Chain A
Amino acid sequence: MEIEVIRKGQQTRITGREQVSLLELLREAEIYISAACGGQGKCGKCAVRMLSGATEATEADRRFFDEQEISEGWRLACLSYPREDCRIQIVSDDESEFEVVSEHEEVRPEAETMTGECAIAIDIGTTTLAIQLVERMGGRILHTVTGINHQRAYGADVISRIQASNEGKGAELTGSIRQDLYQGIGRLLAEYPVEPEQIGAVAIAGNTTMGHLLMGYSCETLGVYPFTPVEIGTVKSSFTELFAACLKEETDVRMRSIRAEVTLLPGISTYVGADIAAGLLSCGFDRREEPCILIDLGTNGEMAIGNKDRILVTSTAAGPAFEGGNISCGMGSVPGAICKVKIRGGEPEVTTIGDKPPIGLCGTGVIETVCELLEQELIDETGMLEEDYFDDGYELARTAEGEPIVFTQKDVREIQLAKSAVRAGVETLMLRYGATVDDICHVYLAGGFGYKIDLAKTIGIGMLPEAFAGKTTAVGNSSLGGAVEYLSQAGARQRLLEIVERSTEIELSTDKDFNRFYTDYMFFE
């Protein structure tokens, strides 16, 4: 059977075989699309549109697409097994964009056996951890484990961790994160057949505070102006040295056999750390002629604008609202979290992650809700919720136990603060860089904020300028992607250093233009 693949207006013909998935066929033809979960129908990243000869929709398809999308031919390539000639469209504006999205997710054609040297890439987030085993040559992802940063017990944000450290809890925090990473690596080894001797290197990205706590540095100077880090450059260590305390009690000979070099990647400043530098690497800022923007939609709202010659970075107090934090029924992106909202005929229709009974709202659901409420004019331009919903909030759905899941006036206000912080940051960066919205060639949204975020809605709520429509991509964990690239690509080390060197930080809280933008963009207009 013949499959016609259309991507960016270009057509390629590939030959299909029974019992072989579209994703595999595409890979064979070296047409790479993202498949974060490795083709298990779990991540939804390999979405393609079957223009003709669409395969029967699977249960997974119904989870990721609504009826209209299904009828339009949207399918997950990993679970679609064509049996007749078909035409498919891969919607990703730009080949290079795609590379970014999937840089750390890219799955190359299967090797028979894995014999080469491996490495471990780690992203230490304030809340979560991601650890990936990768092939040194080519950067193929072999296995991923994720976990919780148990430092959360000492506070949710970096400032509270800094404070805990300053109050004498530094050693505990260091012990906690090392233990978390050690156990994560242990799981990686237990779940994937790799010989410990094969692991030659570990690269770690994370914000500067996370880096300090990992290395056991003092955080005294991180929390007060001028926010001077103890060390912001590349830090070399070794597995045996960093995890000495964990190894002391280790009985597993495999863990004791790891002899990897550990590198803590360099950051730019105390508030724009290695995670952002790595993100810039994975988005290829150093190769861009035209200016691009990277926004990490987390609590610290780090962002950057720039190209191969010059990069400006900053951070803005976005708060945790885009991750579902500080929202009355907010939650992380877990099964049962509402991630899609549509109000039809006055009735809200919600979609949850995994199609489980609704239990709350994830960051994507929060953005969707605000956008819908605005569209239905249930929120006015000042952010005021319609009077009927003022006291109890707008009910989106009920849990299995019959508890209402609501969106309140206060939630709207949280989003106003968060979105205007992001927008004002973006506007100020462009102003200082001397670029207009039209000069920006691409915008990358990083962070674990959302599940299948509808980028149009980020514009709908005014978080991003309208002119960014069509040139914005969600890149997920670009920090981890950067760490993988660092480990697996020739020249990446040098590129990262150059990115750091070319980056200049600007301070927003004292910036007059930022303050003006911040109040201006508070409205929904």
Chain B
Amino acid sequence: MTVLEQIIEAIQSGKRRQLKVLIEDAMEEGIAAEQILNEGFLPAMENVSRKYHMEQFYVPEVILASQAMQVGTTILEEYMGGRKLPVIGRAVIGTVKGDLHNIGKNIVIMMMRGAGFEVLDLGYDVAADTFIRKAQEFEADIICMSAMLTTTMVEMKKVIGKLVNKGLRDRYVVMVGGAPVTEAFAAAIGADLYTQDAGSAAKMAREALKERGKL
């Protein structure tokens, strides 16, 4: 197994300590950080996502893999002497107003960072106006919204409505997710993207930017 393959394996199984050693090995072999990212982190993330869809992985593994991914991202940046990894896009993300659920959203953040996004975490109980204001300030490409309650997911619709009213709707890719959210709901409120899990969220976000010619 090549060191990159081992990195994929380590992320998938959530082995953080091992991952650190492997990244060191890879750097010593002269593999560039970008390559580690593209040929290590990204395939790992796609594997996690695929396994999740095949029900081989469930939430626990995704959480562990995403944590490993976060550790890996930090290590890579350290090795680059503080130089940031190449950013493929910018996203703001938060849990909608009235909802305090954090864990799922944080997994998505880790996955997206691993996929090369610069992500601004708006936290939880985020008001519609805050989503929009922060997206503008951060010059985001993507607005990601999470909701874990059927009683709060309607907030997503509010955000999209406000974007439309302000004439900003086309400026952003709007992604939604969370346990009660469905493809049908996402379509009904006029969101651009819905994914079931964090791994595909990061992957789909990349593809969405490609489609828009931003990547």
Residues of A within 8 A of B (CB): 159-160, 162-163, 166, 222-225, 382-383, 390, 409-410, 413, 416-417, 420, 507, 509-510, 515, 518-519, 522-523
Top 4 closest pairs, chain A to chain B, by CB:
A223-B151, A224-B98, A413-B58, A522-B60
A390 to B99, CA, bound (A): 36
**What are 29 A-B residue pairs whose CB atoms fall within 8 Å in the complex?**
A159-B149, A160-B150, A162-B151, A163-B151, A222-B151, A223-B98, A223-B150, A223-B152, A224-B99, A224-B149, A225-B100, A382-B64, A383-B58, A390-B56, A409-B58, A413-B59, A413-B60, A417-B58, A420-B60, A509-B100, A509-B102, A510-B124, A515-B102, A515-B106, A519-B60, A519-B67, A522-B60, A522-B63, A523-B60
Instruction: Flag if B102 contacts A225 (CB, 8 Å).
Output: no
A409 contacts which chain B residues (CB < 8 A)? 55-56, 58
What is the chain A residue whose CB lies nearest that of B67?
A519
Q: Is the interface of B mostly helix, strand, loop or mixed?
A: loop
What is the chain A residue whose CB lies nearest that of B150?
A163
Most buried by A among B55, B59, B97, B151: B151
Partner of A410, one of B58, B97, B124: B58
What is the chain B residue whose CB lies nearest that of A410?
B55
Instruction: Flag if B124 contacts A509 (CB, 8 Å).
Output: yes
Instruction: Flag if B63 contacts A224 (CB, 8 Å).
Output: no
Write out, one digit per residue, whether chain B residues 52-72 have a CB within 8 A of any chain A CB (1) or not (0). 000110111101100100000
Q: B24 within 8 Å of A by Cβ? A: no
Instruction: Flag if B100 contacts A510 (CB, 8 Å).
Output: yes
B170 CB, nearest partner CB in chain A, Å: 29
What is the chain B residue whose CB lies nearest that of A417?
B59
A470 to B78, CA, bound (A): 48
A223 to B96, CA, bound (A): 13
B101 contacts which chain A residues (CB < 8 A)? 509
A523 CB, nearest partner CB in chain B, Å: 8
A330 to B61, CA, bound (A): 23
What is the chain B residue whose CB lies nearest that of A521?
B60
A410 to B52, CA, bound (A): 11
Q: B184 within 8 Å of A by Cβ? A: no
A222 contacts which chain B residues (CB < 8 A)? 151
A76 to B98, CA, bound (A): 51
- How many A-B residue pairs lie within 8 Å, measured between CB atoms? 70
Most buried by A among B60, B67, B125: B60
Known: A224-B97, A383-B58, A417-B58. 14 other contacts (CB 8 A): A159-B150, A159-B151, A163-B150, A222-B151, A223-B150, A224-B151, A383-B60, A390-B56, A409-B55, A420-B60, A509-B101, A510-B102, A515-B106, A519-B63
What is the chain A residue whose CB lies nearest that of B152?
A224
A417 to B62, CA, bound (A): 12
Instruction: Flag if A382 contacts B98 (CB, 8 Å).
Output: no
A238 CB, nearest partner CB in chain B, Å: 32
What is the chain B residue whose CB lies nearest that of A412?
B58
A327 CB, nearest partner CB in chain B, Å: 13
- Contacting residues of chain B (14-61) with chain A, CB-CB under 8 angstroms: 14, 55-56, 58-61
A165 CB, nearest partner CB in chain B, Å: 10
Instruction: Flag if A507 contacts B100 (CB, 8 Å).
Output: yes
B66 CB, nearest partner CB in chain A, Å: 9
Q: B13 within 8 Å of A by Cβ? A: yes
B56 contacts which chain A residues (CB < 8 A)? 390, 409
Partner of A519, one of B64, B125, B151, B152: B64
A522 contacts which chain B residues (CB < 8 A)? 60, 63-64
B98 CB, nearest partner CB in chain A, Å: 3
B60 contacts which chain A residues (CB < 8 A)? 382-383, 413, 416-417, 420, 519, 522-523
For chain B, the count of residues having a C-beta within 8 Å of the partner chain is: 25
Residues of B within 8 A of A (CB): 13-14, 55-56, 58-61, 63-64, 67, 97-103, 106, 124-125, 149-152
A507 contacts which chain B residues (CB < 8 A)? 100
A518 to B64, CA, bound (A): 11
A163 contacts which chain B residues (CB < 8 A)? 150-151
A93 CB, nearest partner CB in chain B, Å: 34
A166 to B151, CA, bound (A): 9
Most buried by B among A222, A417, A510: A510
A160 contacts which chain B residues (CB < 8 A)? 150
What is the chain B residue whose CB lies nearest that of A509?
B100
Instruction: Flag if B103 contacts A518 (CB, 8 Å).
Output: yes
A509 contacts which chain B residues (CB < 8 A)? 100-103, 124
A416 to B99, CA, bound (A): 24
A58 to B86, CA, bound (A): 75
A518 contacts which chain B residues (CB < 8 A)? 103
What is the chain B residue whose CB lies nearest that of A155?
B150
A386 to B60, CA, bound (A): 17
A162 to B154, CA, bound (A): 14
What is the chain A residue whose CB lies nearest that of B100?
A509
A417 to B102, CA, bound (A): 15
B103 contacts which chain A residues (CB < 8 A)? 509, 515, 518
A510 to B102, CA, bound (A): 6
B14 contacts which chain A residues (CB < 8 A)? 382
A225 contacts which chain B residues (CB < 8 A)? 97-100, 125, 152
B97 contacts which chain A residues (CB < 8 A)? 224-225
Known: A225-B98, A509-B100, A518-B103. A416 touches B58 (CB 8 A): yes
B149 contacts which chain A residues (CB < 8 A)? 159, 223-224
What is the chain A residue whose CB lies nearest that of B107?
A519
A223 to B99, CA, bound (A): 9
Instruction: Flag if B61 contacts A382 (CB, 8 Å).
Output: yes
A272 CB, nearest partner CB in chain B, Å: 15
Most buried by B among A225, A390, A410: A225
A224 to B61, CA, bound (A): 29
A382 to B100, CA, bound (A): 28
A413 to B124, CA, bound (A): 26
What is the chain A residue whose CB lies nearest that of B180?
A159
A444 to B59, CA, bound (A): 29
A108 CB, nearest partner CB in chain B, Å: 46
A417 contacts which chain B residues (CB < 8 A)? 58-60
Known: A413-B60, A416-B58. A382 touches B13 (CB 8 A): yes
A55 CB, nearest partner CB in chain B, Å: 49
B100 contacts which chain A residues (CB < 8 A)? 225, 507, 509-510
B64 contacts which chain A residues (CB < 8 A)? 382, 519, 522
